[in-house]
Amino acid sequence: NDCGDRIMSQDKAFTMEVRDDGVAVITIDVPGESMNTLKDSFAEEVGSLMNRLESDDSVKGVVFISGKPGSFIAGADINMIDGCENAVDAESLARKGQAMFDRIEQLNVPVVAAINGACLGGGLELAMACHVRVCTDNSKTALGLPEVKLGLLPGSGGTQRLPELVGVQQGLTMILTGKELRAKQALKAGLVTEVVPQSILLDVAVEHALKRKPKSTKPPLKGISKVLEATKFGRDIIFKKASEQAQKKAQGSYPAIDKIIQTVREGVERGREAGLDKEARSFGELAMTPESYQLRQIFFATTEMKKETGADGVKPDSVKRVGVLGGGLMGGGIAYVTAAKAGIPARIKDIAEDGIRHALHYSYERLDKKVKRRHMRRAELEKTMLMLSGSLDYSGFERTDVVIEAVFEDLNLKQKMVADVEEHADESTIFATNTSSLPITQIAAKAKRPEQVIGLHYFSPVDKMPLAEIITHPGTSDKTIATTVSLAKKQGKTPIVVKDGAGFYVNRILAPYMNEAARLLLAGEPIEHIDKTLVKFGFPVGPITLLDEVGIDVAAKVAPVLVKELGDRFEAPEAFEKLIDDDRKGKKNQKGFYQYGKSVKGKPVDTSVYSLLDIDPNESKSADEIIDICLLPMLNEAAYCLQEEIIRSPRDGDIGAIFGIGFPPFLGGPFRYMDSQGLETIVNKLEKLAAERGERYTPAPLLKQMLENGWNFYQ
């Protein structure tokens, strides 16, 4: 054999080939999977390879490389944790991973990780156990430890090795946020030794493997980091600041944050052995927390959804070109995610050149930021911008596969857009409307091809919000659904398919929550008290802040649509009229419930709103009361949506609420939250509030039926 000895087996994830130059190349290729993930069963495989390497004097170096194109190791298999019955079982998993990676680190020959694509979680922990890391300049190459997003900490040495490699401050930031570094960022941080083109990755890795085994190196610290990390006093400042910053966002709801800081600190102050012991114990404890359980369920749900087409048994058509109608904020955002994330050319039509210019500039700004942050090269920016074009007429639209409309919320205008696209585009072109409130059935009412009309509702800002609602009317074809779902996924969205109806799903469950917050304000509860209470509960922003951000005028327009279609429980407080009359639209015109402007420090309330609404602010409700008053109508409406088949499953309802309105992820979404609280508790609270505050709190029939039958949303 020209390549030397080979240890291979069809069902193995790790295969080793010893080259004639003495370098053992270990290829990671998990059978039957599109990406590599580490499993508990691999410990034995790696162990047998280590036995061979430790006893073979002819091996001069080792290279770990992936057999999957565009991916090194995406992390560990999270299913392993679900198989653990208690904290000791989970701790044992961590210790097994630590031992496996310790053996790699302790090999007497140079060990090199050749990284191309995603190198995350357990993948990065394996790479950090190697003596040298070389990565490609591929745009998909990313290194990070995202365990905190699952309510966990890195359990196989990551809390100890990352701070050793990049410094305590940088290491803590990466572990606490789950932040990923691109190739050039990783090089600058000292996490990788070299960045090379993919074509020579193995060659360069082999060169490093044939060099002398490198000694441990201190992180390349500069400036203030170097000063702070040199003394215990300085490190105390780093840990204190890291805790303050992380908890400001987490509001004490994520136990992983304190555990991460304590574990990193243990290793820094008492040595790696003590740090690894603390890491394993903390991993076991966190794996058993309800927060981690719920966050893992979200991960499983989104992974499951990635495999679905939205229409069982129907394959999507290929989308090669997209048209976008409207160059405003939404249109610009849609064009950006189409070109930059999906890699599909987008043609923007607007009635004015300024609209097209705005949309193109929107994309350029975002791409330019990525270049400055070393997330992409200037050449990639230019290539992406070439995929965007504009027009004042429908020229070029005859070649589009999907046209996405993002014009004003006016039924006649949207119906005209359908007619225009049917006239100027191909007969197979899908018309997707980004309406947030108008029924799709009405938009499709005059269409020649209603089966190709569908709702594709994005959330603002489009480039950041992960959800897309795919709204079907009774005539929408399965092929249209599957193709639209596929496009949304390519744009980086998590799509949920919902049935047509006023407010669809997300806005429908959001409206009663916002209305009750407004009623509390009108009854005298201070704006900060309401907002801070719901942020402490776990929402990213409070409901009054959200009103300012969404636009008070937008909320006022949506309310009558919901009342007309769904009834009196959606009746909004009359105060909206006074706010609109005073030209208070919120953040967009710098006039709402809060103060805005360059001279304004912090986020103070605009107290003039109290006199406008004849309010004498005074705290009278406890935090628990405010939570129940605002949250329970949202939960109740989610149950109505499931009952009316607006959403297809509790899973879709939970993902929609978390990704669409920021329902606290660690609580699992409205349906998992109701299960955890108990439906008897939810129904009793609703009935009590119905007696105190009005019939709009009357429990949905589905909730009462489920309670009577002893059912849960998730069995």
* Residues classed as catalytic: 469
Question: How big is the chain, counted in residues?
Answer: 715
Whether the CA torsion 637, 640, 644, 646 is positive or negative: it is positive
Q: Phi/psi zone of residue 653: left (φ > 0), alpha (ψ -120 to 50 degrees), beta?
A: alpha
3-state DSSP assignment of residue 229: helix
| 478 burial level (CB within 10 Å; 0-12, 13-18, 19+) | middle
In angstroms, the CA 267 to CA 257 distance is: 16
Q: Strands across the sheet with 71-73, in order?
A: 71-73, 118-120, 142-144, 180-182
Q: In the numeric block, which tokens belong to residue 423?
A: 């006239």
CB 388 within 8 A of CB 335: yes
In angstroms, the CA 357 to CA 412 distance is: 26
Residue in the block written with tokens 């966190």:
286
Instruction: List the one residue out of 580, 573, 456, 468 whose CA is nearest residue 521.
Output: 573
In angstroms, the CA 336 to CA 232 distance is: 47
Q: How many CB atoms lie within 10 A of CB 232?
A: 9
Whether the CA torsion 370, 376, 377, 379 is positive or negative: it is negative
Residue in the block written with tokens 């922990």:
125
Instruction: List the one residue out of 336, 373, 549, 372 whose CA is nearest residue 463.
Output: 336
Cα–Cα separations (whole angstroms), residue 203 to 70, 114, 240, 519, 597: 17, 10, 44, 67, 55
Cα–Cα separations (whole angstroms), residue 486 to 42, 338, 561: 34, 12, 30
In angstroms, the CA 473 to CA 454 distance is: 7
- 146: Cα within 13 Å, side-chain hemisphere: 18
CB 128 within 8 A of CB 157: yes
Cα–Cα separations (whole angstroms), residue 297 to 159, 177, 652, 666: 24, 20, 12, 10
Q: In the numeric block, which tokens belong to residue 494?
A: 């998590």
Q: In the numeric block, which tokens belong to residue 54?
A: 């430790």
